Chains A and B, each alone.
Chain A
């Protein structure tokens, strides 16, 4: 179905070939908005799908961080993904991407106000999304303070990338992201 098969370098992605079989991913991308996404990518069309369509994908629908995920991979930061960004997202989220790369993107995802630090407000938002706001305010404050106390190495009261990476690299479960 795809006219120009040489759309991207296979080696730049971590997905095994049968998944990135251009037909499959492009098919997924196409079926979200059949009227907008062309079949023919030879002319290098500039097509972007808005966030609302993408976060309804079954893989992302149940994820509490779906908006942040899509925003992190979009070029304009608003959440609209071109096909390249789309493929990029699947590549990083696949199981073969290395830990360091996942750490970088995880940091971006949890950084809600995109100031390159995970500050207390970011932590509170994360916690609320994780527990669907079932915790009381004191509990939330307690947890956020504990997190900063545990992970903040340089003592500036918020988590920089180095703190985050140091903490996440020791986590046994991290590759489940």
Chain B
């Protein structure tokens, strides 16, 4: 019955039996008997496998002889069939030769097919066969669907090409970009399909309402390109912005509830993004299992994993060889210098100085943005503003984003960190810079909004009186004639702060896009052209010297992408068309940047492992998502919507639309349920419960981490002990050294080192304590039992903490067993129980 274990065993070196079951991949389903092949059998490399094959073939021949199947035979047959199926499904993961796999597969498939039908009895047989057939068809369908999905992944070849030239870290940026594109596409689909399309199809057309018409005063310039570029004019009064939407509760013949849809789509944008980011983080966290063990295998990893097997380009290969050599040399130097005394004080002082400088820079940039935004508010009140004054804010923000990061890098040279740590600091600082800029911008925007809100009251009055006046004048003499309605273009308008906010975000995004593209064009392409062509007539070698070709700045680009997404999230509630702009931007970015990378960049001279940065970037994205949710949530909850524009006009708060829908559209009891649920008496206990759950899960995870760390320590000690045994050295554990010194010298036999630190010394009364097998016994035995008298007072601790599972330490063949103790796991010795002295042997 150990066939299962054998089947699951991997064929590796013959040294040890790993006994691990190979994980069942989803791509391969359990049964598919359609394709049979005609390969000849082949000798297996492992005798076990041969033996197994023989046994299975003999089993199959035995089974074929039996006609009448009794209960046990049926069960046994069923089990065999199951085993065969399992073999089929896991065969992909085995390292056998292809021909061998094919022959074993064919045999297993024959067996299963022959006897599967025989398993069902009588009428049940037909049903069973039918079920099997449907299962097979389902499996085939799923597999085909998976294949189809793989075929549909866009840009796969492009990314592979970049990867073969530049290595996997650069390609990871493009994979991230593609993922963002996917997320944005879904968001765009949501917004477009549920908000914009219904409005365009079923809502009132342009010009029918004041909010949908360009005001009379602006109509002459509404089509000018400069006005359109600023997103005023006709673009402002279109479905791309919040202000266009009408607050009619239902529109069209479908009775589509547009305001409700607008609100729900806004919320679900955030909900979907949150779900997608967290799911991606969880998947990444699953794959990266190494935690904190970074230093144990430096050289081994360098040797076995530094070569990038995806490199196909000679120039990249040369670079890779050079970087591997450099990396080895550096590690060797590190290793040799690790005992050297470093000047800690100087290093600390320099680091503090660097941090102070950088904080100064950050504060300076924050103040600059605030100042510029305040200035732009005074500008907007002036007439005759030039192009520069109008766009000053965006220009300043982009310039700061371009020049501060290199500045941070130069300052960071003072700190002298390991490159990977230095990179994390750099990323953190750039992140703080962008965040500060964004929030300063937001604060300034909030000032603007508050001003507009104050203005609104004034305009409301004006509008009211104007309409009244118009009615009176037009219905002046003849009261029976209904007064012609005022042309929508003439109605005085409120300031509509939501549209203003939306416009600001759209302009910021557009200018960010432009700056990025121009930077790439000038900084990479023009530079490459310059270096290439002017090099012929220049004094020094441009390619090797100062400008040289640019390297692809992965972290800068990723951060840019993350922040861009943050702005989209913030602005999409007020400008539904923003996500569409972003989708276009990502699409063109993909092609543009791929081209730029291949034509003007060179592979990194120094290749470092950005291995765990994936989750780092996802973490940044999550943080930005949360931070961009805050302003939107704040404005929804606390600011009153404009009175004359947008789907929530006329309400006191935007979320009143939910209340309204529940009252009017749902049956009565739903409203009651919601009112109960919204009761603070229910919500507060729910929040408390969640907090307690988090606390509990945190405690559990900490306990697991501790157990993990203990196990690692055990393994470490075991390794050291083995080595010591081999070298016949005295133990290296300092505590054991002390112990040995404590004991009388004639007791110095080969004393194996102790385990972990919480093992205390045994009571020495000639007792060999009941312990776990292996090392423990030898330890307890050698210094203590029997030979000594009670000359030494025993240390008072008899603590037997055994936090690890028994049986982990399978006894090693070479270990001394001086008293022939039984080696099974010792029963009944839990944690913390005192150790009872056994009778001396």
Spell out A's residues near B (CB within 8 Å): 6-14, 16-18, 44, 58-59, 61-65, 75, 84-85, 87-88, 92-93, 96, 98, 100-101, 104-107, 110, 116-117, 123, 126-127, 130-132, 134-135, 139, 142-143, 146-147, 150-151, 153-155, 160-162, 164-165, 167-174, 176-177
Contact A12 B91 (CB under 8 A): yes
A160, B92: Cα distance in complex, Å: 24
Confirm or deny: B329 has a beta carbon within 8 angstroms of a beta carbon on chain A: yes
Contact A100 B329 (CB under 8 A): no
- Return chain A residues, CB-CB under 8 Å to B105: 9, 12
User: Count the B residues whose beta carbon is within 8 Å of the partner chain — how many?
Assistant: 80
Choose, from B94-102, B270-278, B556-564, B771-779, the stretch at the interface: B94-102
Chain B residues 721-756 with CB under 8 Å of chain A are 722-723, 725-726
A110, B37: Cα distance in complex, Å: 33
Of the A-B pairs whose beta carbons lie under 8 Å apart in the complex, a sample of 27, sorted by A's number, is A6-B37, A10-B35, A11-B32, A12-B101, A16-B151, A62-B312, A63-B307, A63-B309, A63-B311, A84-B102, A85-B98, A92-B95, A100-B20, A116-B15, A132-B325, A135-B325, A143-B332, A147-B299, A151-B300, A153-B719, A155-B725, A161-B12, A164-B304, A170-B289, A170-B293, A173-B301, A177-B309
A61, B508: Cα distance in complex, Å: 47
Given the interface contacts A98-B25, A100-B22, A176-B168, does A143 sit within 8 Å of B303 by beta carbon?
Answer: yes
- Return chain B residues, CB-CB under 8 Å to A135: 325, 328-329
Contact A139 B312 (CB under 8 A): no
Checking B38, B92, B98, B289 against A44 with a beta-carbon cut-off of 8 angstroms, the contacting residue is B38
Contact A165 B18 (CB under 8 A): yes
A171, B290: Cα distance in complex, Å: 7
- Return chain B residues, CB-CB under 8 Å to A164: 304
A17, B27: Cα distance in complex, Å: 12
Contact A126 B303 (CB under 8 A): yes
Contact B95 A96 (CB under 8 A): no
Given the interface contacts A130-B307, A172-B609, does A146 sit within 8 Å of B299 by beta carbon?
Answer: yes
A98, B293: Cα distance in complex, Å: 22
Choose, from B124-132, B313-321, B397-405, B471-479, the stretch at the interface: B313-321
Checking B13, B314, B719 against A155 with a beta-carbon cut-off of 8 angstroms, the contacting residue is B719
Closest to A16 in B: B150
Contact B303 A104 (CB under 8 A): no
Confirm or deny: B308 has a beta carbon within 8 angstroms of a beta carbon on chain A: yes
- Return chain B residues, CB-CB under 8 Å to A107: 12-13
A76, B314: Cα distance in complex, Å: 30
Given the interface contacts A172-B290, A173-B611, does A160 sit within 8 Å of B16 by beta carbon?
Answer: yes
Given the interface contacts A127-B303, A170-B290, does A13 sit within 8 Å of B13 by beta carbon?
Answer: no
- Return chain B residues, CB-CB under 8 Å to A153: 715, 719, 722
Contact A173 B305 (CB under 8 A): yes
Given the interface contacts A98-B25, A100-B22, does A150 sit within 8 Å of B296 by beta carbon?
Answer: yes
Contact A174 B35 (CB under 8 A): no
Majority secondary structure of chain A interface residues (helix, strand, loop or mixed):
helix
Q: How far is the CB of A107 from chain B (nearest CB, A)?
A: 7
Chain B residues 14-49 with CB under 8 Å of chain A are 14-16, 18, 20, 22-23, 25, 27-29, 32, 35-40, 42
A167, B102: Cα distance in complex, Å: 32
Contact A62 B314 (CB under 8 A): yes
A153, B718: Cα distance in complex, Å: 9
Contact A165 B12 (CB under 8 A): yes
A132, B18: Cα distance in complex, Å: 35
Confirm or deny: B147 has a beta carbon within 8 angstroms of a beta carbon on chain A: yes
Contact A162 B328 (CB under 8 A): no
Contact B328 A101 (CB under 8 A): no
A165, B722: Cα distance in complex, Å: 19
Among A58, A100, A160, which residue has the most Cβ atoms of chain B within 10 A?
Answer: A100
Confirm or deny: B306 has a beta carbon within 8 angstroms of a beta carbon on chain A: yes
A166, B69: Cα distance in complex, Å: 47
Given the interface contacts A100-B10, A104-B12, A116-B14, does A88 sit within 8 Å of B305 by beta carbon?
Answer: no
Checking B10, B37, B289 against A104 with a beta-carbon cut-off of 8 angstroms, the contacting residue is B10
| A-B pairs with beta carbons under 8 A, tally | 201
Checking A87, A162, A174 against B305 with a beta-carbon cut-off of 8 angstroms, the contacting residue is A174
Contact B35 A85 (CB under 8 A): no
Contact B27 A96 (CB under 8 A): yes
Closest to A116 in B: B13
Closest to A168 in B: B304
A87, B715: Cα distance in complex, Å: 39
Contact B37 A176 (CB under 8 A): no
Among A64, A92, A143, which residue has the most Cβ atoms of chain B within 10 A?
Answer: A143
Confirm or deny: B666 has a beta carbon within 8 angstroms of a beta carbon on chain A: no
Contact B308 A176 (CB under 8 A): yes
Q: How far is the CB of A82 from chain B (nearest CB, A)?
A: 8
Contact A18 B151 (CB under 8 A): yes
Q: How far is the CB of B795 from chain A (nearest CB, A)?
A: 31
A95, B325: Cα distance in complex, Å: 26
A87, B263: Cα distance in complex, Å: 54
- Return chain B residues, CB-CB under 8 Å to A84: 39, 97-99, 102
Contact A11 B143 (CB under 8 A): yes
Contact A12 B98 (CB under 8 A): yes
A163, B311: Cα distance in complex, Å: 28
Contact A130 B306 (CB under 8 A): yes
Contact B305 A104 (CB under 8 A): no
Contact A59 B312 (CB under 8 A): yes
A52, B584: Cα distance in complex, Å: 48
Contact B311 A162 (CB under 8 A): no
Contact B95 A105 (CB under 8 A): yes
Given the interface contacts A162-B15, A176-B308, does A16 sit within 8 Å of B98 by beta carbon?
Answer: no
Q: How far is the CB of B331 from chain A (nearest CB, A)?
A: 8
Contact A131 B328 (CB under 8 A): yes
Q: How far is the CB of A15 from chain B (nearest CB, A)?
A: 9
Among B10, B307, B308, which residue has the most Cβ atoms of chain A within 10 A?
Answer: B307
Contact B15 A161 (CB under 8 A): yes
- Return chain B residues, CB-CB under 8 Å to A18: 147, 150-151
Contact B92 A12 (CB under 8 A): yes
Contact A160 B15 (CB under 8 A): yes
Closest to A177 in B: B309
Closest to B97 in A: A75
A150, B11: Cα distance in complex, Å: 25
A153, B715: Cα distance in complex, Å: 9
- Return chain B residues, CB-CB under 8 Å to A168: 304-305
Q: B605-648: contact bitstring with A at CB < 8 Å (1 yes, 0 no)? A: 00001011000000000000000000000000000000000000
- Return chain A residues, CB-CB under 8 Å to B321: 64, 130-132
Q: How far is the CB of B252 from chain A (nearest CB, A)?
A: 44
Confirm or deny: B521 has a beta carbon within 8 angstroms of a beta carbon on chain A: no
Checking A12, A150, A161 against B102 with a beta-carbon cut-off of 8 angstroms, the contacting residue is A12
Contact A88 B97 (CB under 8 A): yes
A162, B306: Cα distance in complex, Å: 20
**17 extra interface residue pairs, beta carbon distance < 8 Å, beyond A130-B325, A167-B297:** A11-B27, A11-B143, A44-B38, A44-B40, A62-B314, A62-B317, A85-B98, A100-B93, A105-B95, A131-B324, A132-B325, A142-B332, A146-B298, A147-B303, A161-B15, A162-B13, A162-B15
A130, B306: Cα distance in complex, Å: 9
A12, B25: Cα distance in complex, Å: 11
Contact B289 A171 (CB under 8 A): no
Confirm or deny: B288 has a beta carbon within 8 angstroms of a beta carbon on chain A: yes
- Return chain B residues, CB-CB under 8 Å to A139: 328-329, 332
A64, B63: Cα distance in complex, Å: 52
Confirm or deny: B694 has a beta carbon within 8 angstroms of a beta carbon on chain A: no
- Return chain A residues, CB-CB under 8 Å to B337: none
Q: How far is the CB of B581 from chain A (nearest CB, A)?
A: 33
Contact B10 A7 (CB under 8 A): no
A171, B151: Cα distance in complex, Å: 30
Checking B18, B290, B723 against A162 with a beta-carbon cut-off of 8 angstroms, the contacting residue is B18
Chain B residues 318-362 with CB under 8 Å of chain A are 321, 324-325, 328-329, 331-332, 335
- Return chain B residues, CB-CB under 8 Å to A104: 10-12, 95
- Return chain B residues, CB-CB under 8 Å to A170: 289-290, 293, 296-297
- Return chain A residues, CB-CB under 8 Å to B101: 12
Q: How far is the CB of A130 from chain B (nearest CB, A)?
A: 5
